[in-house]
Structure 1
Amino acid sequence: MTTICVDQPATGLRAWAASVTMAATVFTVVTAEMLPVGVLTPMSESLHTTEGVAGLALTATGVTSAIAAPVLPLLLGRLDRRAVLGGLMVLLAVSSFAAAVTPFYSIFMLARVLMGVTIGGVWLLTVSLARRVVPENAAGPATSLIFSGIGIASVLGIPAGAYVGELAGWRWAFAGVGLLSLGLTVALSIFLPNLAPERPVRLCDVREVLQVKQVRVGVILVALIVTGHFAAYTYVRPLVEPHTGPALIGTLLLAYGVAGVVGNFLTGALRPFRALTVIAAGIALTALAMPVLGTTLAGSLVLLVIWGFAYGGTSVSTQAWAHAAAPSAPESSSAVLVGVYNGSIALGAFTGGQVADQLGTTTVTWLPAVLATAALVVLLANRVQRG
């Protein structure tokens, strides 16, 4: 198939402005996706449903983005990726405003489905386009900067949503995401260069990359770690609120997010095998300790910091695993991993919700304990992947 010529990347300040804008875009979609975590209790009360059912807001975005990530590249064809990113941010703005104003749970969930399309598309495009917005010698730092949007969303976005929800109501948190999305639509059109596709992705490309054993191992690891994490993290507010009070939820989530950024840089500097071993072990140990040590404010704070540090490097480490497993097919392997990642968010939120509603919120921590331990077993059985 003929390779499509693309414009040269920008240089100097414009190139880094493009990288910062893409990092802010990632920050916004991750904040939108995780926003229910910080406002779950008041959101469920306002929508007249249980916390477990309200937690399906993450399932809706996760399922949709899991489908959108591998399917969108097949549908976009030769469309300029800059225009696609702008369109996705407009869609995020519309869906955020709809979630902010609707009194109906069904319409709220429809808005979350539309958010899922944006999340899947933005995750995939920013991963594959990072190296194209800056000169080749700056591709590594630019990629790290763009990925930092994920960690910063945990540090600022989710706690900010919790604070706004506490001060003005959870709906204003969603409205704020909508306003930020509109601003980024303009910024993307200004700072990004033309980004025509280098080569349209074909369905056979995705099939071929799945034939690589270590890609399949990466899929299993993502499914176990991310499903386990979100089975409990989705319900972290009702999990710790009885021991801390609602006023401190934002502060605890901020501590979790700061630890996540530190973990992102420290575990991200390790080889994928070692990084994922640290991540899986940290999540398993924290989950086991939570019912025993997380019954006080101090205990909850310490465990959330350890939890955040452990999970913080997951996105970078799983993408590094995918690149090491299939270096000649970065977009296809990223599409697969991003799809599984977001599908695992959905599965984790759904499973945790069922356990929370049937057995009580305090029981959800056994899910990450079991699944993260299973991930450790998979890692030990596949030591060959040390790249």
Structure 2
Amino acid sequence: MTDAYSDSRGLQPAAFWGGVLSMALCVALLIASEFMPVSLLTPMARGLGATEGMTGQAISISGIFAVVASLLLSTLAGRIDRKRVLIMLTAAMLVSLVMVAMAESFAMLMLARALLGICVGGFWALATSVIMRLVPRADVPRALALMYGGQAIAAAFAAPLGSYLGDIVGWRGVFWALVPLVVVNLAWHLIALPALPARGGEGFGRMLNVARRPHFARGLVAVMLSWGAAFTMFTYLRPYLEQVTRADVTTLSTLLLVIGVAGFVGTWAAGRVLDGNVAPLLKLPALVMGGATLGLWLIGAAPVLVALLLFIWGAMNTAMSVIFMTWMSQNVDDAPEQGGSLMVAAIQASILLGAVIGGSLLDGWSIHATLAGSVVLSAAAVLLIGNGRRLLKP
């Protein structure tokens, strides 16, 4: 078996691009599995004899378990080869999909979604550290962009395809359709990923030490503000488009597709623009996405302008992941698993928090208040990051 070997900095001089592509496929399948139920909420609720609200809560439970898994995985996995861990997580995703497809009760759906949350949190906690070992240091931004291309594919096509296929084969058929793709991904992992032996000192105490580093702690706050701002708006984009833009079903689907397609542009651009100096780019996601959200607030009734702003927002949304994960790979390169775990926990927590903040503003005031809340969080992120130098390691 080919072994991923390291240089003195813990980075690998050889390149395993087949492994990177396997990781990208896994990302696409994880995102599709996590968010596919959004487009199938009503038929799933009917099929399980539950309310739509109950089914929605079952879907969101994956986020809670993702936070827990991201914090605990590097400790619980101990000295297990990381290739084996990725294979186990992908196998667990397969089991989760089968459980959802066969679910006859709300409780079974909850259990399946909790298992998927463990897969999501565990995978993302390891993803950046694995990419750092699959390609040379100079190729890490491009490899991260390639991996996040899987996210862009799923974001663009999972929801519309799920809705379309659900009408043809039923919601259970949609989940069964994902099963053979995950089987292919498992086989690809086995073939393309090299051995990735665990490194020493992977305990929870080391994670706390990483979190105490001033530059990284500031970075985590910047991450939470940036993602929190994004999901304060994005979670409630549909009511905004329905109430303000007055979008019908066709226009709504088109505008959502615009965001997904823009994701390809964002990952492609980020992989080519990023170089050794990531500091000046750290504030761009909050600055650009906050500006786009402010534009939506001011020009919400013009569909063409809304489409342009959503394209800009969608491109920067996927670029944000590449930018911050590149920052993490360069500034916590001595403890990438611990840094990745903390990053994933911060992102997942901020997504949940953003949804709560946005929903409270929507229910208490209006959809315009939700957008205003997103803009305020974006401004706070820009002010904290500044020129980005305080987020770099000494």
How does the TM-score come out when normalised to structure 2?
0.82
- Corresponding residue number in structure 2 for 1:3: none
SS of aligned partner of 1:313: helix
Equivalent of residue 251 in structure 1, options 250, 254, 261: 254
* Structure 1 residue 205: Cα displacement: 1.4
1:275 aligns with 2:271: no
Equivalent of residue 386 in structure 2, options 380, 383, 386: 380
After superposition, the Cα gap between the structure-2 partners of 1:108 and 1:67, relative to the gap in structure 1 and judged at 3 Å, is same
- Corresponding residue number in structure 1 for 2:215: 214
1:7 aligns with 2:3: yes
Q: Does structure 1 conserve the Cα–Cα contact (< 8 Å) formed by 2:148 and 2:318?
A: no
In the alignment, the residues of structure 2 paired with residue 326 and residue 102 of structure 1 have an alpha-carbon distance, to the nearest angstrom, of 42
After superposition, the Cα gap between the structure-2 partners of 1:261 and 1:274, relative to the gap in structure 1 and judged at 3 Å, is farther
- Corresponding residue number in structure 2 for 1:337: 343
Identity of aligned residues (%): 30
1:323 aligns with 2:329: yes
Give 2:375's aligned amino acid: A
After superposition, the Cα gap between the structure-2 partners of 1:214 and 1:90, relative to the gap in structure 1 and judged at 3 Å, is same
In the alignment, the residues of structure 1 paired with residue 390 and residue 137 of structure 2 have an alpha-carbon distance, to the nearest angstrom, of 30
In the alignment, the residues of structure 2 paired with residue 221 and residue 62 of structure 1 have an alpha-carbon distance, to the nearest angstrom, of 20
After superposition, the Cα gap between the structure-2 partners of 1:163 and 1:276, relative to the gap in structure 1 and judged at 3 Å, is farther
Unpaired runs of at least 5, structure 1: 1-5
- Corresponding residue number in structure 1 for 2:241: 240
In the alignment, the residues of structure 1 paired with residue 95 and residue 301 of structure 2 have an alpha-carbon distance, to the nearest angstrom, of 40
In the alignment, the residues of structure 2 paired with residue 192 and residue 231 of structure 1 have an alpha-carbon distance, to the nearest angstrom, of 37
Alignment of 1:193-208 (within 5 A): 193-199=194-200, 201-208=202-209
- Corresponding residue number in structure 2 for 1:311: 317
Q: Does structure 2 conserve the Cα–Cα contact (< 8 Å) formed by 1:210 and 1:216?
A: yes
* Structure 1 residue 19: Cα displacement: 1.9
* Structure 1 residue 150: Cα displacement: 2.4
* Structure 1 residue 226: Cα displacement: 1.0
After superposition, the Cα gap between the structure-2 partners of 1:139 and 1:377, relative to the gap in structure 1 and judged at 3 Å, is closer
* Structure 1 residue 342: Cα displacement: 1.6
In the alignment, the residues of structure 1 paired with residue 138 and residue 280 of structure 2 have an alpha-carbon distance, to the nearest angstrom, of 27
Alignment of 1:13-162 (within 5 A): 15-39=16-40, 49=51, 56=57, 59-102=60-103, 104-134=105-135, 141-162=142-163
* Structure 1 residue 261: Cα displacement: 2.6
* Structure 1 residue 154: Cα displacement: 2.2
Q: CA RMSD in A?
A: 3.4
1:264 aligns with 2:270: no
Q: Does structure 2 conserve the Cα–Cα contact (< 8 Å) formed by 1:102 and 1:108?
A: yes
In the alignment, the residues of structure 1 paired with residue 368 and residue 106 of structure 2 have an alpha-carbon distance, to the nearest angstrom, of 25
How does the TM-score come out when normalised to structure 1?
0.83
In the alignment, the residues of structure 1 paired with residue 66 and residue 123 of structure 2 have an alpha-carbon distance, to the nearest angstrom, of 9
1:349 aligns with 2:355: yes
SS of aligned partner of 1:219: helix
Q: Does structure 2 conserve the Cα–Cα contact (< 8 Å) formed by 1:60 and 1:346?
A: no
* Structure 1 residue 308: Cα displacement: 0.5
In the alignment, the residues of structure 2 paired with residue 317 and residue 188 of structure 1 have an alpha-carbon distance, to the nearest angstrom, of 26
Q: Does structure 2 conserve the Cα–Cα contact (< 8 Å) formed by 1:95 and 1:115?
A: yes
Q: Does structure 2 conserve the Cα–Cα contact (< 8 Å) formed by 1:232 and 1:352?
A: yes
Give 2:339's aligned amino acid: S
After superposition, the Cα gap between the structure-2 partners of 1:188 and 1:162, relative to the gap in structure 1 and judged at 3 Å, is same
Residue-by-residue CA offset, 1:240-280 (whole Å, 9 max, x unaligned) = 24633234444322211221232234345244443232211
Q: Does structure 1 conserve the Cα–Cα contact (< 8 Å) formed by 2:230 and 2:374?
A: yes
- Corresponding residue number in structure 1 for 2:231: 230
Residue-by-residue CA offset, 1:72-122 (whole Å, 9 max, x unaligned) = 110111222222222212221222333345465554333222111001111
In the alignment, the residues of structure 2 paired with residue 376 and residue 109 of structure 1 have an alpha-carbon distance, to the nearest angstrom, of 38
Give 2:218's aligned amino acid: V
* Structure 1 residue 172: Cα displacement: 4.2
* Structure 1 residue 221: Cα displacement: 1.0
- Corresponding residue number in structure 1 for 2:8: none
Give 1:298's aligned amino acid: V
SS of aligned partner of 1:295: coil
After superposition, the Cα gap between the structure-2 partners of 1:140 and 1:232, relative to the gap in structure 1 and judged at 3 Å, is closer
* Structure 1 residue 314: Cα displacement: 1.4
* Structure 1 residue 37: Cα displacement: 4.8
In the alignment, the residues of structure 2 paired with residue 200 and residue 148 of structure 1 have an alpha-carbon distance, to the nearest angstrom, of 32
Give 2:130's aligned amino acid: L
- Corresponding residue number in structure 1 for 2:9: none
Give 1:294's aligned amino acid: G
Equivalent of residue 369 in structure 1, options 368, 371, 375: 375
